[in-house]
Amino acid sequence: MSSKDPLVIFTPSGKRGRFAAGTPVLTAARQLGVDLDSVCGGRGICSKCQITPAFGDFPKHGVTVAPDALSGWNAVEARYDEKRGLKPGRRLGCQAQILSDVVIDVPPESQVHRQVVRKAATERVIEADPATRLYLVDVAEPDMHEPSGDLQRLRAALKLTWGVKAPDVPLPLIARLQPALRKGNWQVTLAVHQPHDGPARLIDIWPGFFEGPLLGLAVDLGSTTIAGHLCDLSDGRVLASAGVMNPQIRFGEDLMSRVSYAMMNAGGAAEMTGAVRAALNDLARQTIADAGADPRSVVETVFVCNPVMHHLLLGIDPVELGQAPFALASSDSVSLAAAELGMDAVNPQARTYILPCIAGHVGADAAAVALAEAPGAREELSLVIDVGTNAEILLGNSSRVLACSSPTGPAFEGAQISSGQRAAPGAIERIRIDPATKEPRFQVIGCDLWSDAPGFADATATTGITGICGSGIIEAVAEMRMAGLVDASGLIGSAAQTGTPRSEPEGRTHAYLIHDGSPGGGPRISVTQGDIRAIQLAKSALYAGARLLMDEFGIDTVDRVVLAGAFGAHISPKHAMVLGMIPDVPLGAVTAAGNAAGTGARIALLNRAARSEIETTVRTITKVETAIEPRFQEHFVAANALPHATAPFSELRKVAPLPEVSFNTGGDPADGGRRRRRRRG
């Protein structure tokens, strides 16, 4: 190129260079390393290479662009416009040739590494750079005088056109190669998987041009619930989401009881493996049907899970995870064929990636939270808590990051709660109790009205009021504490002590009635003493885990708390703090991050570099083992009170009333003869 050649400037990258007149825009973009997409390699078929030329004066770039800076609209573009429509001002980069100085904008949808903006409150942006992409290739026809296999010529074409070197080709695809090539008249579209850690691999083949889409399924495989998002790999859009209960619950509600089941029953681990794999296939089928997608288009799956789920999913007996030193069979990330996990609801050649585990009790789900929330990328000290049956807790800043896992049990997800249910229409999710009258008002999922608003009964007529979900029970117990219905030790007062007939005797303890649906044949929904105890155990485990990490870090306060988890977004920070679920911080320092583990799975699905990143990051995270740490027990006991036996919670007291009531009459046998607790102002 010479200084007389036309100058081309690409925006938004700002990349510029001179090219001989007549050079296609796509060629110039490639030579400059501009991110301009193409599946067909410039044949005018895929329309991925769309660009918008800009005309006029550009003092910033020092050029003036003439109206005829690009060659005229050609037949290929006209045909495409007629059939599919090109937006005004758009050109196909492979067809438009540069004739004189020009400024060319690459719109976001034409960028290969386009940014996927997350809906959640955090500002993290995901760059789409999926491992599996489509390539259109023209394969040389066979020649009797130069004999070679169709596969060898296909590989040569892929290398020549796209620089993709010798992909592995599974036998079933070799068997489909010849008909596809002949049907496509020696032109085929290939889905090629190029992972961050291994050789390229052919995933599928279509005769002629196949437009896509290619899809991927990101799954957060929890002990109680399994949540999946079906995403378009090219732009990260979530096409469908679904959640199912983990069927392994029938073998044990928490992880250790599942490990025991595997230990006590011959073939128990295999039984649980079969159950979870079947559920994953159901989840895949459901999201694929909801999105109206073709199962064949689902070419990638990513799973994040705790270590026990990780082993059971992979068909590895988790027995070693049930006893110290909690050795993982393998802590590295896993890349394998989805079919090896029995995933038959997706493309038969689809690939699976499972994030690395951090340690025996700190799994790929914690790694996913670290990927999504990146506490190590900030100066402030962040405490990230992913609330679930097992809580994943990370504490750190740019100097170091610590992680632990705490066995909270399923109470926060509405299990083991007398009126508990999963978050579904009809479940109470919000509740307020008037501190003067002790009367409750509430909202149920599926209805925006509060229960004391006109029209509530009609609006909930179809769903009914069926129970109370995880976030509902947290609010209920916290509201009971603020209204003086429950004392700091967790005891529910009697009707005489609290002044409300809603405190009903239940055996030797009391229960607070929230809603009585029995006249209409519905349930009586109340919070029992047993429910409060279950919540106290769960929240003590959560707090103790967080506190243990703070000890390890040598600090007493954190700068910010991020509440994540399937229902993390629905927990009110104030109520969480009244319960003492999290250490005391100003309310404004608590944010919700939605399902951070699920977001981490989605990031790993969409971006190859993120897989390398998290594999490096987990090696730098310090694991703290709660199960063998004596201070965990001390913190756990002190955290049993609401909000805490010894920590002052002075920030909380600025915003929430914590009445000094005590309902311990000294000898209540149902209370196990608990000592009167010291409470603070």
Phi and psi torsions of 514, nearest 5°? -95, -45
- Following DSSP, what letter does each residue of 468-524 receive, concatenated? E-HHHHHHHHHHHHHTTSB-TTSPBP-HHHHS-TTEEEETTEEEEEEEE-GGGT--E
- Is the Cβ of residue 51 or residue 582 nearer to ligand FES in the bound state? 51
Options 6, 42, 409, 594; binder of ligand FES; rule CB under 6 A: 42
- For the window 318-337, what string marks contact with ligand FES as x by the rule CB under 6 A? --------------------
Taking the C-alpha atoms of residue 664 and residue 491, their distance in angstroms, rounded to an integer, is 7
Give the whole-angstrom CA distance, residue 600 versus residue 302: 10
Q: How far apart are CA 291 and CA 231, in angstroms?
A: 10
Cα–Cα distance for residue pair 642/142, rounded to 1 Å: 78
From residue 335, how far is each of 194, 197, 272, 341 by CA, in Å? 12, 9, 21, 11
46 binds ligand FES (CB under 6 A): yes
Size of the site for ligand FES (CB under 6 A): 13
> What is the residue-wise DSSP string for 147-162?
---HHHHHHHHHHHHH
Q: How far is the CB of 80 from ligand FES (least distance, A)?
A: 7
Closer residue to ligand FES, CB minimum distance, 46 or 313 = 46
Q: d(Cα 562, Cα 546) in Å, to the nearest integer?
A: 12
192 binds ligand FES (CB under 6 A): no
Q: Which of 44, 107, 295, 464: binder of ligand FES (CB under 6 A)?
A: 44
Residue from 7, 8, 29, 47 touching ligand FES (CB under 6 A): that is 47
Stretch in the footprint of ligand FES (CB under 6 A) among 41-49, 277-285, 295-303, 513-521: 41-49
Looking at this protein, which amino acid is placed at residue 147? Answer: P
Of 473, 482, 607, 480, which is closest to residue 531 (Cα–Cα)?
473
Among 49, 404, 415, 597, binds ligand FES (CB under 6 A): 49
Smallest distance, ligand FES to C-beta of residue 138, A: 13
Residue with tokens 């570099």: 609
Structure tokens at 264: 């006590």
In the bound complex, what is the minimum distance in angstroms from residue 41's beta carbon to ligand FES?
6
Q: Which of residues 82-141 bind ligand FES (CB under 6 A)?
A: 92-94
Give the separation between CA 104 and CA 94, rounded to whole angstroms: 13
Minimum distance from CB of 244 to ligand FES (Å)? 39
Site map 8..27 versus ligand FES, x via CB under 6 A: ------------------x-
Which is closer to ligand FES, CB of 88 or CB of 172? 88
Angle between helices 268-291 and 255-264 (to 10 degrees): 130
Residue 248 in the binding site for ligand FES (CB under 6 A): no
Q: Shortest gap between Cβ of 24 and ligand FES (angstroms)?
A: 9
Output the smallest distance, CB 186 to ligand FES, in A: 18
User: Which tokens belong to 148?
Assistant: 């070679």
- Scanning 34-42, 386-394, 412-420, 483-491 for contacts with ligand FES by CB under 6 A, the matching segment is 34-42
Q: List residues binding ligand FES (CB under 6 A).
A: 26, 38, 40, 42, 44-49, 92-94
